[in-house]
Structure 1
Amino acid sequence: MLPGALLKRAIEAIRASGGWLPFDRFMALALYEPGLGYYANASPKFGHLPGGPEGSGSDFVTAPELTPLFGHTLARQVAQALQATGTDEVWEFGAGSGVLARQVMEGLDALSVPLRRYTIVDLSGDLRERQRATLRAHEARVTWADRLPEQLSGVLLGNEVLDAMPVQLLVRLAGQWHERGVVLDAAGGLAWADRPTELRPPLEVDGSHDYLTEIHPQAEAFVRTLAERWQRGAAFFIDYGFPETEYYHPQRHMGTLTCHRAHRRDDDPLADLGLKDITAHVNFTGIALTAQEAGLSVLGYTSQGRFLLNAGLLDLASQAGTRENALMQKLVNEHEMGELFKVLCLAPEACAAGWTPLGFATGDRTHRL
């Protein structure tokens, strides 16, 4: 029922847009259409086990779902940031199952760090209910919001959030740039169609070969909105991605757009609408430059593995069992999550001076953005 209802909605959107729907609008519909989109429906998403014959199970595992060592280590960084910026609130964007929120609050409690409020910003009503169940022991200080307030202060967290923001697709064909969108084929199904465009990647891509890539106006707009409303604190965005020179490398000619379902990847976002995740890697240079242009400061950028080791992961692992230590390796090993995932720290200029975030004490790569 769900794929058919969402497909019908997509067909309506294509017809309403004159027969050609830009991919970013299609991606927003596929992921966030109320009650039907992937993040707005009741299908399982996060966890260790893939979906079974009836679709039970999960589509992918995130770091906090893997081991509580992730969130407990991040809590050490959050504790330092709260103290350094004189704030007592945490805001988390796209909190998934709520496991990271629970781990961070557990970690702050273990460090005796006062936390007045933990606010989750999430558009999905179904995920909110899962978060409420996960966070029942902390419900006195947890609140939810579906949009940013006009003003906010606190430490901001976004784990695998930027990658889920809709992207525009650009494709160079025979030396000419086009924007890729979605149309209806002769049978009434979904198909790709390209239109000439003045849009370009932020870097010139060497060569004349055909080349598919993404640009990220919605993620950049999100950062600008934060800058307008955020008064004090520090933000930590953790996601898979690259600096600009790697993102738009001539050899990355098929882009980074991919789909996740039952712990498997595919490259067809037009199929199985609402039943799988659609995601693209993050251009961290674009995010950092947008932040700076909007008046924010970049306090650090490094790999997830280096960030966690700097923040005290090994100290916490020494107190954990064998299973957690084995899972911890996935967080830091270069061939697992340790190198592909990066951490970017931003702050309002008023909170940028006088401290160095723990996670960037060594191995900071800001100069490579």
Structure 2
Amino acid sequence: MMQIESEVNNEERLPEPSYDEYALSAKLAFELVSEIKATGAMPFSRFFDQALYHPTLGYYTGPQAVFGREGDFITAPLISDLFSRSLANQIIEIGDLIDDAYQILEIGAGNGTMARDILLHLKKAGKLPDKYLILEVSPNLIERQKTLIAEALPDYIDQVVWIDSPPTSAWKGVIVANEVLDALSVERFKMVEGKPQYVDVGLTINDSDKTVVFTPVLREADTALEDFYETLKTRGIELPEGYETEYCPHLESWLPPLFEFLTQGTALFIDYGYDEKEYYRPERMTGTLIAHYKHRAHEDFYLYPGLQDLTANVNFTQAATVLVDMGLEFLGYTSQSYFLLGNKLQELVAIDKAELPDTQEGELAWFELSKRVQHLIHPEEMGERFKVLAVGKNFDHALQGFELHDYAHHL
């Protein structure tokens, strides 16, 4: 049996997986090795998809916990329900502007915390949607989501519907995607003699010690990559020799089906990322792709497939361009901080503070609450790092989440 290794020595900075974890990763790694042996080096996007979304062994589809403090990262809804309640305030405004029965479609609901907290806030406001649709590909996560939501809203759980592909019948409402675009597969490319070349995933096999190493392999650009780079050049962006980065061609095929049967409504995309000029700054020589393993960020993308997250920052210029080219109305682009404050975050904090007891325990609770709020809105935390992009279909109304400050001019 061959041992599968990584290019990067990680003994000093990364913990070893357990026996069971390693067995799962090794099983997926051998599948990837077999595919590369049979068909040649695979596009990085294929490696990315299998590492995250393999039906039973992927990072998001396997049995391991990936969300929360026991996982590899904590998303905004897990930091405080104030995030979801503020988002729900934006949904309320949109629902009122639609002035009809509406639905919510959440893309990739994680462990279900955001869905639960949004629905609890909407219930309190008397604004529950006709249906809450959750587009989810992980059977493991679906079970967690069902359990969490059913415990909190037993009378509403029958209106929560899990789907594995976008809706195929007419509907009105709101699409919500929190930290979803960053999980779409990307292609890596490198500038070689002034031209982009794909960085695929190949193998280096050492017969003497029976090891196999995933290794980068260059491939000539196709029309899609050439066209993408030409578009960058028309916008004044030329990348230096040796520059290695990524782009997301999958956006162009992934986004349209979400809107095909939406007759009226909006979409809110919340994620970390940059406008295009910031994304491809000359000094960002290794791109934005990052791996997360056991609360450690690193750049060994081939390590322990299925056990670590792979994520690239969102190019919001590209996302907005694709959406507008689809005929959707651009509604706004701002920071997470301005979006939450525009959706009455301060009022929600005041409500929570008023409910705390006037005791030492209450003071400690207020300190913890304040710390979590700062995590959501401080510029050096998530406040500026995360952005919110909104588009509409047959919906061209100003939204309160973008009234404080709109970053549209950056795109």
TM-score normalised by the chain length of structure 1 = 0.93
Q: Cα deviation per residue 1:341-362 (whole Å; 9 max; x = unaligned)?
A: 00000111x112xx21110012
Q: C-alpha distance in 2, partners of 1:223/1:233?
A: 15
Q: Is 1:154 the equivalent of 2:173? A: yes
Structure 1, unmatched stretches of 5+, are 50-56
Partner of 1:358: 400
Q: C-alpha distance in 2, partners of 1:255/1:42?
A: 30
Deviates more, 1:316-325 or 1:257-266: 316-325
Aligned-pair CA distance for 1:208:
3.3
Give secondary structure in 1 for the equivalent of 2:94: helix
Q: Match of 2:77, as an amino acid?
A: P
2:141 counterpart (127, 132, 141): 127
Closer, same or farther: CA 87–255 of 1 in aligned 2, 3 Å: farther
Aligned-pair CA distance for 1:14:
1.6
Partner of 2:8: none
Partner of 2:253: 221
Q: Is 1:296 the equivalent of 2:315? A: no
Aligned-pair CA distance for 1:2:
0.5
Aligned-pair CA distance for 1:367:
2.2
Q: C-alpha distance in 2, partners of 1:208/1:293?
A: 29
Q: C-alpha distance in 2, partners of 1:142/1:29?
A: 28
Partner of 1:77: 90
Closer, same or farther: CA 153–11 of 1 in aligned 2, 3 Å: farther
Which structure 2 residues correspond to residues 1-369 of structure 1 after superposition, within 5 A?
A: 1-16=23-38, 18-47=39-68, 49=69, 57-85=70-98, 86-136=100-150, 137-138=152-153, 139-151=157-169, 152-187=171-206, 188-198=212-222, 199-200=225-226, 201=229, 202-204=231-233, 205-206=237-238, 208-321=240-353, 322=366, 323-348=368-393, 350-352=394-396, 355-369=397-411
Aligned-pair CA distance for 1:19:
1.3
Q: Cα deviation per residue 1:20-59 (whole Å; 9 max; x = unaligned)?
A: 1000011001100101010110101111x2xxxxxxx210
Aligned-pair CA distance for 1:87:
4.2
Q: C-alpha distance in 2, partners of 1:314/1:197?
A: 49
Q: C-alpha distance in 1, partners of 2:216/2:143?
A: 36
Closer, same or farther: CA 163–207 of 1 in aligned 2, 3 Å: closer
Aligned-pair CA distance for 1:189:
2.4
Q: Match of 1:74, as an amino acid?
A: L
Tell me how many residue pairs correspond in the alignment: 357
Q: C-alpha distance in 1, partners of 2:379/2:296?
A: 20
Give secondary structure in 1 for the equivalent of 2:371: helix
Deviates more, 1:301-310 or 1:225-234: 225-234
Q: Is the 8 A contact 2:232 2:238 kept in 1?
A: no
Q: C-alpha distance in 1, partners of 2:31/2:101?
A: 43
Q: Cα deviation per residue 1:226-250 (whole Å; 9 max; x = unaligned)?
A: 2333221111110000111111121
Q: Is the 8 A contact 2:36 2:203 kept in 1?
A: yes
Identical-pair percentage: 36
Aligned-pair CA distance for 1:220:
2.9
Give secondary structure in 2 for the equivalent of 1:225: helix
Aligned-pair CA distance for 1:221:
1.8
Structure 2, unmatched stretches of 5+, are 1-22, 207-211, 354-365
Give secondary structure in 2 for the equivalent of 1:42: coil
Q: Match of 1:110, as an amino acid?
A: K
Partner of 1:54: none
Give secondary structure in 2 for the equivalent of 1:299: strand
Closer, same or farther: CA 43–69 of 1 in aligned 2, 3 Å: same
Q: Match of 1:28, as an amino acid?
A: D
Aligned-pair CA distance for 1:207:
5.3
Q: Is the 8 A contact 1:203 1:248 kept in 2?
A: no
Q: C-alpha distance in 2, partners of 1:172/1:345?
A: 33
TM-score normalised by the chain length of structure 2 = 0.84
Aligned-pair CA distance for 1:197:
1.1
Give secondary structure in 1 for the equivalent of 2:387: strand
Q: Is the 8 A contact 1:227 1:296 kept in 2?
A: no
